[in-house]
Amino acid sequence: MAVTLSGNVAKRNVLVVNAGSSSLKLGVLGPDDTVLAARHVERWDADTGPLRDFLAAAPAVDAVGHRVVHGGAATSALLIDDHVRADLERLTSLAPLHQPRALAGIDAVGEVLPGVRQVACFDTAFHATMPPHATTYALPSQWRQKWDLRRYGFHGLSHAYASRRAVELAGAPDARVVSCHLGAGASLAAIHKGRSVDTTMGFTPLAGLVMATRSGDVDPGLLVWLLRAGLSLDELEDGLEHHSGLAGLSGTGDMRDVRRAAEAGDERAMLALRVYVHRLCQAIAAMAASLGGIDVLVFTGGVGEHDAELRTEVGARLAFLGAMDVFVVEAREDLEIAGRTRAVLDFEECS
């Protein structure tokens, strides 16, 4: 395993680490963003073995970029040190499925590559450009001030890449874009001139659209009622995070299985699809309203990229919004992370 530590980072290889709620994606991207090596570990137990095995056969790396779901108030990627890591750990309660996994990835790399600088690239940072009226909850001011309650937004790395690529394909730099990241987690973003204007997720990644196992938006009064009815906080959190969404409606969180079951006449699956599409179209129209119109609609993520029937139905239902370009863009968070990692370290070297 070779490691190089000097020279202009923009000209060298970046190891991209994307630790999901259960999986680990690794990739080494060269200076021209060519993928030199890649591995997807389906079940990762936070041990260093898969990382060591991958790096043993991969090209030398000069820097490491991590996808981190929650960056709090950070507006850009940050070079990781003890202080930054401690700040990220304090945000764990806001993204309990993902934040501990990102921290485990950071720690694993620190053990295996102790001399290589690491950069945290935040999903929340892209949405730091949202205006106050889009981020502010109508809650008591003392609550908002004490706990910094606000809408953060997520999937920013994916939305940034997909929207930029869609604008390139449309040849319209001033286009008003609604980006649809549809996967196990799902969110929309309203984007104009590369800046996030609005999004569907909020204080946590639980808000917004119906997802694989997450509920999306739910009447807060209903949640209070469930607690008063005897549900514990742990039961409520587990149900909303792991047993809701498509899984709660149909018995499975995999859209492919839901669609197959619906085609076979399963009533629960048919309802799940109707709910999913209803909420999705409703939210796209809301994002268009935040932009004052829509010029480009882009789909990305596993469901967004591969479910043509879904895209066709959404397009038909949104015809009232007028003409728009529709694109499918492969999710490439790795490119976004590599680029931001190089930018941070080049800045550090020039400072």
Q: Is 123 a catalytic residue?
A: yes
Amino acid code (one letter) for 25: K
CA distance from start to end of the chain = 30
Range list of β-strands (E), the chain:
14-19, 24-29, 35-41, 63-68, 78-79, 118-122, 176-182, 186-192, 195-199, 296-300, 325-328
By C-alpha distance, which of 76, 86, 60, 190 is closest to 135?
A: 190
Distance CA 195, CA 218 (A): 28
User: For residue 123, what is the DSSP state?
Assistant: T
Residue written as token pair 């066709």: 312
Query: Quick count: other Cβ atoms within 10 Å of Cβ 324?
Result: 19
Exactly one of 123, 198, 295, 334 is catalytic; which is it? Answer: 123
Q: What is the 3-state secondary structure (H, E, C) of 73-98?
A: CCCCCEECCHHHHHHHHHCHHHCCCC
**Residues with a known catalytic role:** 123
